Amino acid sequence: MRRFALFAVLLLGCTPSPQEVCAHWASLRKAPDPDDEKKCVDKLAGEQEADPHRYKCQAKCTVRAKTADEAALCRQVCS
């Protein structure tokens, strides 16, 4: 039973933190700016508090994105 619970958690996954999302976004950009990453984390932390469901959608979508263009679409998809 314990293994099943662990598998379910791994399968469903957790919501990525603002730091994880912003680090991935920065890695997709050609010339990431460290100041932009800090601003990104602050902005996403506020969004996470204001609308947790929308944040969760955007965060998971952004972390799965393979290109900056894909990541930019996450905001529209999760609106």
Per residue in 39-76, pLDDT tens?
A: 999 999 999 999 999 999 999 999 999 999 999 999 89
Q: What is the pTM of this model?
A: 0.77
Phi-psi region of 39 (alpha: psi -120 to 50; beta: other; left: phi over 0): alpha
How does pLDDT run across 4-52, given as a tens digit for each residue? 444 444 445 799 999 999 999 999 988 778 788 889 999 999 999 999 9
Q: Residue 30 carries which DSSP code?
A: S
Of 50, 53, 76, give the one whose Cα is nearest residue 65: 76
Nearest to 17 by CA among 53, 60, 54, 50: 60
CA distance 23 to 20: 5
